[in-house]
Amino acid sequence: MLPFPRTTLTDLRRKLLDHELSSAELVQQYAQRMQQVNPALKAFISWDTERALLSARQADLSLPLGGLPIAVKDNICCLGEPARCASRMLENFVAPYDATAIAKLRIAGAIPFGRTNMDEFAMGSTGENSAFGPTLNPIDENCVPGGSSSGSAAAVAAGIIPAALGSDTGGSVRQPASHCGVVGLKPTYGRISRYGLVAFASSLDQIGTITTCVQDAALLLQALCGYDPLDSTSSKQPVPDFSAELSRGVQGMRIGLPKEYVSSGNAPEVQTALYSAAKALESQGADICEISLPHTEAAVASYYIIACAEASSNLARYDGVRYGYRVEHSPDNTGDIYARSRTLGFGDEVKRRIILGTYVLSGGYYEAYYARAQRVRALVARDFNQAFSSRIQLILGPVAPTPAPKLQAQDMTPLQVYLADIYTVPANLAGLPAISVPVPQASLPIGVQLLAPHYEEARMLRGAEVLEKTLA
């Protein structure tokens, strides 16, 4: 499809400052694009052009993101706009406040514009679990765009918005970015406030960015980071000037390539992309070293137990009484309201996870599953600590074992879909920052991933920019 050329935030900003066009014209232009391609693409599930135009007319262009429209995943609250998490359960919910990330975007001058489609409650890897129907991959409409931030990645890839926010609990920013050929960044856990991000698995959830280039990722990240007293897990670490750190290259950097990530289970084009990335980094003076992350194989099991356990608790609030969709007929008793509202309000994948999560937390099974998964999580984190304390500065790996699967790949069981998260969930379990960068190729897009120690996003961005420039 690829109907429109992609434009970077940096270029758009220059055009606005040069008065080549106004912010309102820019919003109009993107609104028109949405109207044209969204009925087929389904990257957005709602947008409010009037509201965006109002902000555009008041935009302060001197601010870092002054007058630039940014799309927002449907699980991040924007005051006065729907935040439905692509679920029937929240079909009538209108956010009564701004998430801190959105407030920060506004402070930086940006215009939140459009709610992007997603897997329901961010549970999924294809975008197909949306109550609004699946988003298509703009590079090949027979394929999924990845998920759960499916709409954010597809919209940026199709040029119908210059950048978007997503959320990454187990890879949902990086994996769709990889499948759509754009840049997806998940910062260190705690870097961006989760206040106003609808909770899926609170110990893993982070807001992240989807952009067309690494420089834009740095620009957007800058606006979003910083301590927030409204999120008890928000970090007080100082926030460096990410853009200023770019262009410093990777000369002399030791970059680890985990042997567990170079696996025969990867599609050949994924292996090729990984080797080209390693070569590109090496050509710019990095030292690529083989390392081992021995608990990689157990990461997916640990992730799905922990994520489902936390989801079952977080989603208990949607009972049709306190929150969420409520059945119309007056049921016999309160239990009936809960049961019928949840049965109709949630889709299959969400129900599967609530059941799994409730099971692993129940008396008698807690030790065997949940407590054990937490111990595995600690081991996964220890693998990374050991690698980074042996003078490894970044880790290179694939994002997903295959390129984007076909839509409705019915031969895939839920377990097979879960297993494809093997390279993305470790960063969430360990709370590490990670970025997915496209490796240009003739066929479907493939991204590679760089992981950095906690709070070393600046270093990670340097590596990512080298990849982007050298591979171009």
Residue 146 sits in the site that holds ligand GLN (CB under 6 A): no
Task: Report the distance separating Cα 171 and Cα 191, nearest Å.
Answer: 16
Q: Which is nearer to ligand GLN, 126 or 243 (CB)?
A: 126
Closest contact distance (angstroms) between CB of 451 and ligand GLN is: 15
Pick one of 87, 116, 169, 235: the residue that binds ligand GLN (CB under 6 A): 169
In eight-state DSSP terms, residue 119 is: S
Q: Which is nearer to ligand GLN, 255 or 350 (CB)?
A: 350
Strands, E, within 253-372: which ranges?
A: 254-258, 287-291
CA distances from 218 to 65, 82, 107, 239, 452 (A): 12, 28, 17, 12, 15
Q: Which is nearer to ligand GLN, 257 or 434 (CB)?
A: 434
x/- map, 98-137, ligand GLN, by CB under 6 A: ------------------------xxxx------------
Closest contact distance (angstroms) between CB of 352 and ligand GLN is: 11
Q: Which position among 73, 167, 193, 243 bears the catalytic label?
A: 73
Q: Which is nearer to ligand GLN, 125 or 188 (CB)?
A: 125
Closest contact distance (angstroms) between CB of 328 and ligand GLN is: 31
Residue 315 sits in the site that holds ligand GLN (CB under 6 A): no
Question: Chain-centre distance of CA 227, in angstroms?
Answer: 20
* 260: its two tokens: 């567990």
Residues 6+ apart with CB under 8 A from 338: 319, 320, 321
Q: Which is nearer to ligand GLN, 421 or 465 (CB)?
A: 421
148 is catalytic: yes
Q: Which position among 130, 149, 172, 302 bears the catalytic label?
A: 172
Closest contact distance (angstroms) between CB of 412 and ligand GLN is: 13
- The answer to whether the CB of 424 falls within 8 A of the CB of 400 is yes
Task: Report the distance separating Cα 108 and Cα 22, nearest Å.
Answer: 17
Pick one of 127, 162, 170, 453: the residue that binds ligand GLN (CB under 6 A): 170
Residue 234 sits in the site that holds ligand GLN (CB under 6 A): no
Backbone angles phi, psi at 37, to 5 degrees: -105, -15
* 92: its two tokens: 């009538």
Which region holds residue 136: left if phi is over 0, alpha if psi is between -120 and 50, else beta? beta
Q: Which is nearer to ligand GLN, 123 or 158 (CB)?
A: 123
Residue 172 sits in the site that holds ligand GLN (CB under 6 A): yes
Closest contact distance (angstroms) between CB of 400 and ligand GLN is: 10
Closest contact distance (angstroms) between CB of 90 and ligand GLN is: 16
Residue 171 sits in the site that holds ligand GLN (CB under 6 A): yes
Positions in 189-218 near ligand GLN (CB under 6 A):
200
203 is catalytic: no
Mapped onto helix, strand or coil, the DSSP state of residue 111 is strand
Pick one of 168, 216, 231, 465: the residue that binds ligand GLN (CB under 6 A): 168
Closest contact distance (angstroms) between CB of 295 and ligand GLN is: 18
Q: Which is nearer to ligand GLN, 52 or 207 (CB)?
A: 207
Task: Report the distance separating Cα 73 and Cα 197, nearest Å.
Answer: 10
Q: Give how many residues touch ligand GLN by CB under 6 A.
A: 14
Beta-sheet pairing, 254-258 with 69-73 = unpaired
202 is catalytic: no
164, β-bridge pairs:
71, 210
- The answer to whether the CB of 146 falls within 8 A of the CB of 153 is yes
Positions in 25-44 near ligand GLN (CB under 6 A):
none
Positions in 410-439 near ligand GLN (CB under 6 A):
421
Task: Report the distance separating Cα 276 and Cα 355, nearest Å.
Answer: 42
Task: Report the distance separating Cα 17 and Cα 63, nearest Å.
Answer: 11
The DSSP result for 25-62, as a single string, is HHHHHHHHHHHHHHHHH--EEE--HHHHHHHHHT--TT
Cα angle 119-429-435, degrees, rounded to a multiple of 5? 70
Task: Report the distance separating Cα 379 and Cα 430, nearest Å.
Answer: 9
Q: Which position among 130, 148, 193, 276 bears the catalytic label?
A: 148
Closest contact distance (angstroms) between CB of 306 and ligand GLN is: 10
Residue 148 sits in the site that holds ligand GLN (CB under 6 A): yes
Q: Which is nearer to ligand GLN, 330 or 410 (CB)?
A: 410
Q: Which residues bind ligand GLN (CB under 6 A)?
A: 122-125, 148, 167-172, 200, 307, 421
Which residues are catalytically annotated?
73, 148, 172
